[in-house]
Amino acid sequence: MRRLALSLVSACGFALLSACSGGTGFGNNGSSLTAIVFSNGSAQVADFFVAPGGTSPVRVAAVGVKGSPGSDLVYGQTFLWAARFVNPTTDPASISTYKTGVSPSTFKTCAAPPKVEPPVPILVPAPYSDVTSGFAGYAALAATQTASTVYAAAVPGVAAPYCLVLTATASDGTVGTVTVVVSQSP
């Protein structure tokens, strides 16, 4: 169960986007972002999959884009983050479906959320083991704290499979979403 965040990321690779843009204009020149792209830290794959009960959260990094896709990356921005369960009956297909396998990929629909939805933690690295987040080495991101990279993990006590949606909001109001699949297997 893998989710490609944006066809641009899979076409160029997150680390190769600078080559796609010709190496120009990586600063913010005052105009608003046109999109937010996400990466899990791999230049080749933009999958957001985590095993339930696992101790390793998945990395979710966000970068702003200005102009046509891939033309101008805006590094150094931080975002306000929110997370919730995906509801396939009310969320659009861009959030409630995900790709599995490599070409030719197939699409699957996220499972219904639990009847009682506990809060979905968003994690950031902590310098020391943080027992309050439930994940050693990670602390919960405060609601008003901004970050460019966060970590998503399975919600303790919730039976898989299910999907989470993380929303990143830039200071100019641009919003991007990424779906994280929580399941035993892709």
Residues 112, 87 contacting (CB under 8 angstroms): yes
Residues 68, 36 contacting (CB under 8 angstroms): no
Parent domain of 56: 7-182
**In this structure, is residue 11 part of a structural domain?**
yes
Residues 36, 170 contacting (CB under 8 angstroms): yes
- Residue 168's closest CA among 48, 56, 55? 48
Q: Express each pLDDT in 62-114 by its tens digit.
A: 999 998 755 788 888 999 999 999 999 999 999 999 887 666 678 889 999 99
**In this structure, is residue 26 part of a structural domain?**
yes
Q: How confident is the model at residue 61 (pLDDT cuts 50, 70, 90)?
A: very high
**In this structure, is residue 76 part of a structural domain?**
yes
State the average pLDDT over residues 166-173: 96
**In this structure, is residue 2 part of a structural domain?**
no
Q: Express each pLDDT in 46-57 by its tens digit.
A: 679 998 987 789
C-alpha 43: how far from chain center: 15
Q: What stretch of H or E contains 61? A: strand 58-66
Neighbours of 161 (CB within 10 A): 14
**In this structure, is residue 1 part of a structural domain?**
no
pTM for the predicted model, two decimal places? 0.79
- Say how far apart CA 54 and CA 123 lie, in whole Å: 14
- Residue 180's closest CA among 165, 160, 169? 165
**In this structure, is residue 120 part of a structural domain?**
yes
**In this structure, is residue 154 part of a structural domain?**
yes
Residue 126: its pLDDT value, please?
A: 85
- Say how far apart CA 17 and CA 6 lie, in whole Å: 12
- Is the pLDDT reported for residue 33 higher than 50? yes
Q: What is the average pLDDT value for the chain, to the nearest integer?
A: 79
Number of domains in the chain: 1
